[in-house]
Amino acid sequence: MNISLGLEDASYKYVHGAVNNFKLPFDENKETSLVCGKNDRAAVQLLVYSEQEMLISVNEDACFYERRPIDIVRVHVEVPGLKEGSIKANLIGLVEDDDRQLKSDIILQQPFIHVDGRRVQPIWIEVEIDKDVEPGTYNPQISVFGHRLFEDEVIIRQLSFDIQVVNTTLTDASDYSFNLNLWQHNSNIARKYDLALWSDEHFSIMENYISSLADLGQKALSVIVSEIPWSGQSSSYDRIDPANMFEYNIVNVSLLRNGKWSFDFNALNRYVELGMKHGITQEIEVFGLLNIWVLEDAGLGSVIEDYNDAIRIRYWDESTNTYKFVKYKKDLEKYVQALEQNFIDKGWIDIVRVIADEPSDTEIFTHRLNELKQMAPSFKYKAAINHASFIEQDIEGIMDYIPVLDCIANEFERIQELKNQIKGKMSYYVCCVPEIPNTFIRSHLLESRLIPWLAFHMNIDGFLRWNYTVWPNDPLNKISYHYPFFPAGDTNFVYPGRNGHPLLSLRYKLLQKGIRDYEIFNSYINQGGDREKIQQKMKNVFLWTTLNELHPSARKTKEELFSLQNKDYEDIISEILTEIVKGEAI
C-alpha cells in the first residue's frame, strides 16, 4: 500500500484536470501552526494521494468497494486536551468549473468516497475551540490507517499540527459588528427538496439554512412579497440549460366573495420569527415592491395597468375559484398598506428595509419610490447600486446604500465623503463582477477571506452577496450555469444536502474566517488599538498603491493585488491577537 499524505492550509484548492503531471502534487512534510483565541476555530486540509484507486473513510463505519478489492484508507482525528468531538474530519468534494476542470469546494457529510488513482483527495480538518478552553498549545493528531478486504488495519502515518490558543475570547457570531447580508432564495430550497412552499416541511429545512447563516453572523432576513421580482435571472434567455430560478411571494393573497381582500402574513411572520430565534434580528429586507426586473421580450413585464413598476401580486379569487393577478394600483395600495400594518403590529417596522436591486434610471426610480412612500409612509429603503451619482441624489427615504466594489474602487474618495452623509449603513457587494476579488469556483480561496478585510480597509460596514442558494437544476452534479453571464459559484455559497441540511463550501469557510478576522480587528480597536497600525500591517496582503487599482480598468492580476500566501494573513492575525492579550492595544 503506497499512500502519500500531507497537510495544507485551509485556503488550499485542489485542481484536477488539464495539467496534472506524474509528480506528487503536494509537500508531504509541510508544517502548519495556527494561532487562535477562545471561542474560535482552526482548520487545515489533509491531502491523500495514491497511484492506485482507493476508498477513503472519515468515520468508524465498515466500508467496502462494490466493484473489486482495493486499498481502504481510514482517517481518525483527535485533539489531546480538548473534549471529544472538538475536531471533525470531512471529505471535500470536487465540482466542475466552467473550464471543465474539477476543483475543491463542497464539504461533504458522507462517511467515505471512492478516489481514482493519481487524484488527490482533500479532507477538511477543523477544530472548534470553546470559550472555557485553557490557553496553551494543542497538537491535533491525525492517524491514517489502511487495509484491504479482511486484513487487519495498519497505521500508514500519523500527522499533527500546532494550535496556539491565546487568552482572549472572540465574539459570538450573533454579536458580530460586520454587516453581512447574503440573500435567501427560499423558493429554490423548496424546489430542490420537492416540498410545498411554506409548508411545515419547508420551514423545517429552511431552519437548517438559517442556522448556517447565523453561524456566519448574518444580519438580514430576506422576504419576497411579490412574484418573481428578478424574472428568473434571465434563465429564459438560456438555450442550453435553462434553470428554474423563480422566487415566489411568501404572502398568501385572496379576494373574498364579498369583494374584500384577505392578506395572510403567517408564513412571512413565521420566517422572521425563525430567523430571530437564531439571532438574525437586525434587518428584515423586503424584495418585490421596488425596481422589479423585466424581460419584456420574454413576456416578463408589467401586470398592473396603471402603475409604472412591474409588481406581480397573484391572488385567489373566491368567486371564480381561480388564481389571478392584481391589475390595478388601487388594489396594490391595499396590499402594500396591509403589509406595512403587519410590520407595525409585529413591532418590526423600524428594522424593515424595502430594497431596490440595481436601479439604473434615477428619475424613474424616484417616481416609483414616491408612489410607495404615499402608500406606506413608515417604510424605509435601501439600494444596491453601481454608480456613486445615485447616492449624490440624496433621495428622501433611502437609509442604506450598497455600491458594487467596482464603483468604490473607481470613486473611493467620493464614496467615503458620501458615507458620512447617509442616514444608515454602507456595505459593498460583488456579483458576476468584478473578476477579482470574488467567490467563484475559479477564485483563489483567499479572496473569500479578504472580502471582510477589504470592508475594514475601506471603512465600510459590511458585505452583501445575492447568492446563498440560487442553485441551477442539479447543483451537486453541475454547478456551472449560464456561463459566461454567471461564472460557476456565482450562484451559491452552500449546496443542498440530501438530509435537509446545507453542505457548506470552502468558500463559505474562508468567508467565515475573514469575518472572524474583521471582528478581531474591531476588538483590537475597541480596546484602544490604533486603526492605522492595522492598515500598515495590511500592506503585507494588499499590494496596491491606491484603491483604484482594484478597478478592472487597471488590468491588474490577483497576484499583483493581493498576497496569495495564507501565512501572510495568519501572521497579521497572530500579531493582533498577541497584542490584545498583552494589553498593547491600550
- How confident is the model over 408-427, as pLDDT tens digits? 999 999 999 999 999 999 99
Domain region containing 301: 173-229+239-471+508-526
Q: Does residue 439 form part of some domain?
A: yes
Q: Are residue 189 and residue 287 in the same domain, yes or no? A: yes
List, for residues 223-264, the tens digit of each pLDDT value.
999 999 999 999 999 999 999 999 999 999 999 999 999 999
pLDDT tens track for 378-392 = 999 999 999 999 999
- In 116-219, which ranges are E strands? 121-129, 136-138, 141-147, 154-160, 162-169, 179-182
Q: What percent of the chain has pLDDT over 70?
A: 99
Dump pLDDT digits (tens) for 156-169: 999 999 999 999 99
Model pTM?
0.98
- Look at residue 586 in the predicted model and tell me its pLDDT: 43
- Condensed to tens digits (0 to 9), the pLDDT of residues 318-335 reads 999 999 999 999 999 999
Cβ atoms of 534 and 576 within 8 Å: the answer is yes
The pair phi, psi for residue 504, each rounded to 5°, is -70, 165
Residue 498 belongs to some domain of the structure: no
Picking from 167, 186, 217, the residue at the C-terminal end of a domain is 167
- 59 part of a folded domain: yes
Give the residue-averaged pLDDT of 28-36.
97
Task: Please give the order of strands across the beta sheet that includes 261-264.
Answer: 261-264, 252-255, 314-317, 322-325
pLDDT at residue 560, rounded to an integer: 98
Q: Answer yes or no: is 14 within a domain.
A: yes
Number of domains observed in the structure of the chain: 2
d(CA 142, CA 374): 64
To 10 degrees, the CA torsion angle through 525, 528, 532, 537? -70
- For residue 488, how far is the Cα from the chain centroid? 14
User: Distance (Å, rounded) from C-alpha 31 to C-alpha 156?
Assistant: 18
Does residue 527 contact residue 580 with C-beta atoms inside 8 Å?
Answer: yes
Q: Do 222 and 330 have their domain in common? A: yes
Residues 136 and 180 in one domain: no
Same domain, 140 and 212: no
> Residues with Cβ < 8 Å from 204, sequence gap 6 or more?
500
- The Cα 579–Cα 586 span in angstroms is 9
- CA 234, 235, 241 angle in degrees (round to 5)? 150
CATH (domain of 418): 3.20.20.80
CATH number of the domain within which 124 lies: 2.60.40.10
Residue 181 has pLDDT above 70, yes or no: yes
- Structural domain includes residue 577: no
Which of 122, 141, 167 lies at the terminal end of a domain, its last residue? Answer: 167
pLDDT reported for residue 528: 95
Query: 344 falls in which pLDDT band (50, 70, 90)?
Result: very high
Q: Is 268 left (phi over 0), alpha (psi -120 to 50) or beta?
A: alpha
Question: What's the pLDDT at 285?
Answer: 98
Rounded CA gap, 52 and 72, in Å? 11
Sheet holding 220-224, edge to edge: 220-224, 283-287, 352-357, 380-385, 398-403
Closest Cα to residue 280, out of 214, 337, 339?
214
Q: Is the pLDDT of residue 19 over 90?
A: no
pLDDT of residue 126: 98
- Cβ atoms of residues 437 and 450 within 8 Å: yes
Grid cell digits, residue 524: 483590537
What is the arithmetic mean of pLDDT over 274-285?
98
CA distance 210 to 216: 10
Return the sign of the alpha-carbon dihedral for residues 224, 227, 230, 236.
positive
> What pLDDT, on a 0 to 100 scale, did the predictor assign at position 21?
87
Share in percent of the chain as helix, strand, coil (round to 5): 30, 30, 45
| Mean pLDDT for the stretch of residues 330-346 | 98
Q: Is residue 329 part of a domain?
A: yes
Residue with cell 458594487: 404
Quick one: 79 and 110 in the same domain? yes
Question: 141 with 265, same domain?
Answer: no
The answer on 131 and 106 residing in a single domain is yes
DSSP three-state, residue 416: helix
Which of 167, 188, 211 terminates a domain? The answer is 167
* Cα–Cα dist 3/120, whole Å: 11
Q: Give the residue-averaged pLDDT of 533-558.
A: 97
Residue 163's DSSP bridge partners are 34, 138
369, 311: one domain:
yes
The number of residues in the chain equals 586
Report the percent of the chain where pLDDT is more than 90: 98
Average pLDDT score over residue span 110-131:
98
Distance linking the first and last C-alpha atoms of the chain:
56
Which amino acid is located at 481 in the chain? Y
Query: Rounded to whole angstroms, how far apart are CA atoms 116 and 111?
Result: 17
Statement to judge: residues 429 and 444 lie in one domain: yes
Nearest to 63 by CA among 20, 111, 95: 111
Statement: residue 317 has pLDDT above 60? yes
Q: Give a yes or no: residue 260 inside a domain.
A: yes
Considering the domain architecture, whether residues 206 and 160 belong to the same structural domain is answered as no
pLDDT computed for residue 246 by the predictor: 98
Assess if residue 416 is contained within a domain: yes
* Separation CA 538–CA 524 (nearest Å): 14
pLDDT level of residue 584 (50, 70, 90 thresholds)? low
On whether both 161 and 193 belong to a single domain, the answer is no
> Do residue 252 and residue 147 come from a single domain?
no
Instruction: Reply yes or no on whether the pLDDT at 306 is more than 50.
Output: yes
Q: What pLDDT is recorded for position 32?
A: 96
